[in-house]
């Protein structure tokens, strides 16, 4: 069972963590540690912001219940149910859509703009709070299946934590010349 308040609280903490990371020194913010990730913390934050922006828009679409792509039946496929239940994304198992893959060089100001825009959409989503459980429609995710509003919120939290764990590993991995 998804507990909306817990998901919102965890996402709120994640946005606080992203604010801290946005203040990191350039040497760490733009560091790529290939043994951990081919992306820098800056790229991970840009990706989180862009992806969450889409996820929160999907929740809003479901909440308004006006789009023709809203499904009235179905649910997460097995991989989706496991991901939502366990709260982990295995590395490389759910590929990002091409428009959500960061450029090799991301600008700090652009990353800041993307993260802050995503945070505004999170705040709007959080204002709906526990009303999300009443939303009955679903929207399809290409790998996880048809998700309802609470499941999209859960996925936003799982996805965000996935990337923040990688960022933490990058920041703790010494530079080895790669």
Q: Is residue 178 in a domain?
A: no
| pLDDT, tens only, 121-148 | 999 999 998 899 999 999 999 999 999 9
Name 155's Cβ contacts closer than 8 Å, sequence gap at least 6: 55, 83, 84, 141, 144, 147
Q: Is residue 15 in a domain?
A: yes
Mean pLDDT on 23-46: 95
Residue 8 burial class via C-beta count within 10 angstroms: exposed 0-12, middle 13-18, buried 19 and up: buried
**pTM recorded for the entire structure:** 0.94
156 pLDDT band, cuts 50/70/90, is: very high
Q: Is residue 63 in a domain?
A: yes
Strands (E), 73-172: 139-141, 145-147
| CB-CB neighbours of 129 under 10 Å | 11
Structure tokens at 118: 């995503």
Q: Is residue 58 in a domain?
A: yes
Q: Is residue 18 in a domain?
A: yes
Q: Is residue 177 in a domain?
A: no
C-alpha of 172 from chain center? 22
Q: Which residue in 1, 8, 3 sits closest to 126, CA to CA?
A: 8
51: containing domain: 4-172
What 3-state DSSP class applies to 36?
Answer: coil
Q: What is the CATH number of the domain that holds 90?
A: 1.20.120.450
178 pLDDT band, cuts 50/70/90, is: very low
| pLDDT, tens only, 41-81 | 999 999 999 999 999 999 999 999 989 999 999 999 999 99
How many domains is the chain built from? 1
């Amino acid at each position: 069972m998804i507990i909306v308040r817990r998901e919102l609280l965890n996402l709120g903490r994640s946005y606080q963590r992203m604010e801290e990371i946005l203040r990191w020194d350039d040497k760490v913010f733009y560091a790529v540690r290939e043994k951990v990730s081919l992306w820098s913390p800056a790229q991970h934050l840009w990706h989180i912001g862009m992806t969450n922006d889409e996820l929160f828009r999907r929740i809003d679409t479901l909440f308004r219940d006006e789009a023709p792509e809203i499904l009235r039946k179905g649910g997460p496929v097995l991989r989706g149910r496991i991901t939502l239940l366990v709260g982990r994304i295995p590395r490389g198992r759910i590929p990002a859509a091409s428009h959500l893959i960061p450029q090799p060089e991301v600008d700090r100001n652009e990353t800041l703009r993307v993260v802050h825009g995503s945070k505004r959409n999170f705040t709007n989503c959080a204002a709906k709070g526990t009303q999300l459980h009443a939303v009955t429609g679903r929207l399809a995710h290409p790998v996880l299946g048809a998700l309802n509003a609470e499941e999209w919120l859960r996925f936003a939290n799982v996805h965000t934590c996935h990337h923040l764990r990688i960022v933490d590993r990058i920041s703790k991995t010494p530079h080895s010349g790669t």
